[in-house]
Amino acid sequence: MRMGAYTGRESLVESRRMRILITNDDGADAPGLEALLEALHPRFEIAVVAPDGERSAVSHAVTFRRPIHAAKIDRPYPFFAVDGTPADCVKLAVQALLPWRPDLVLSGINRGVNVGNDVLYSGTVAGALEGAMQGLPAMAVSLDFRRAPDFAPAARFSAALLARLETAPLSPGIALNVNLPDLDPSDYRGILWTHQRGCLYSDTFTRKLTPDGRSEYFLDGEVQSAECLDPGSDGRAVLDGYVSITPLGFDLTSVPDLGTLPAAFPPLDEILGD
Ligand code: MN
């Protein structure tokens, strides 16, 4: 993803800072975002387009039945708070708000990991995947926390990782899903390249009765122990103290089944003949 590489004349191209569009799903005033801005500015050329409030677990939802508004926030770089989802923010940023096309879309730092099946619910990951859909390299960063979350070291690590990515062969259409353990980066055990696999939370519902006698339900999952999760999975890696990185695409096709299922199904005229 070396900037200017497309010219084939890098040495002649005046170098510029990497342009990063930042979004999240915890909201424009979230501490994970603020820590990231502090670590990235002014080393990188940044712009922020983030939801104007909490949008966790909205997945890849988009808004089109009502208008979307972008409130400009006074910062030394472009900063907009949008009354939409993370996917809205990235679409709007790339298509309408930004003065430049980003070199990378960065989503985070999320308060809590996004691993296994939960990746499908995550607004943080959706922000990065929307960047991938816009043809841009992208990365989501999420921080595990069992203590009070300390985003500053995670943000400094993210900045160091981004600096390395400037020369990495990061494909447009792929988002890196990075999950950081609840440790100081000097205590990380290493980086594991992982599969998105398994389920970190067990699904449980708490039932309560309202004063007028109706039942209401609260989704209230419990965290599984690390041993329940596959070695090689994103959740296991991060609970074991590793930085987990999973390259994600947005084509959900099960390629092995596409190879085997057609032979197991009758042709159309047989189905119509039934
Ligand atoms: Mn969140």
pLDDT single digits (tens) 217-241: 999 888 888 888 999 999 999 999 9
- 232 Cα: distance to centroid of ligand 1 (angstroms): 24
Residue 168 CA, ligand 1 centroid: distance in Å: 27
Residue 31 scores a pLDDT above 60: yes
User: For residues 59-68, b (16+ Cβ closer than 10 Å) or e, as one string?
Assistant: bbeeeeeeeb
pLDDT at 61 (0 to 100):
97
Contacts of 167 (CB under 8 A, 6+ apart): 1, 2
User: DSSP class of residue 195?
Assistant: B
C-alpha 141 – ligand 1 centre gap (Å): 10
Smallest Cα–Cα separation from 139: which of 186, 87, 176?
176
The H or E element spanning position 107 is strand 104-111
- Write the Ramachandran bin of 15: left for phi over 0, alpha for psi from -120 to 50, otherwise beta: beta
- Identify whether the C-beta of residue 49 lies closer than 8 Å to the C-beta of residue 83: no
The pTM score is 0.92
Helices (H), the chain: 31-40, 86-92, 123-133, 151-165, 234-239, 255-264, 268-273
pLDDT score, position 7: 43
Question: What's the CA-to-centroid distance between 67 and ligand 1, angstroms?
Answer: 23
| pLDDT greater than 90 at residue 255 | yes
Cα(116)–Cα(188) distance, integer angstroms: 20
What average pLDDT does the segment 174-185 reach?
96
47 CA from centroid of ligand 1 (Å):
19
Taking the centre of ligand 1 as the mean of its atom positions, its distance from the CA of residue 266, in whole angstroms, is 45
Task: Give distance in angstroms: CA of 122 to centre of ligand 1.
Answer: 7
The token pair at 204 is 């449980």
pLDDT of residue 122: 98
H/E run at residue 19: strand 19-23
The phi and psi torsions of 200 (rounded to 5 degrees) equal: -75, -35
Residue 168 makes CB contacts below 8 A (sequence gap 6+) with 1
Using a 10 angstrom Cβ sphere, with 0-12 exposed, 13-18 middle and 19 or more buried, the burial of residue 266 is: exposed
Q: What is the pLDDT of residues 59-78, one digit of tens each?
A: 999 999 999 999 999 999 99
Average pLDDT over residues 40-58: 97
Instruction: State the distance from the centre of ligand 1 to the C-alpha of 98, rounded, in angstroms.
Output: 24
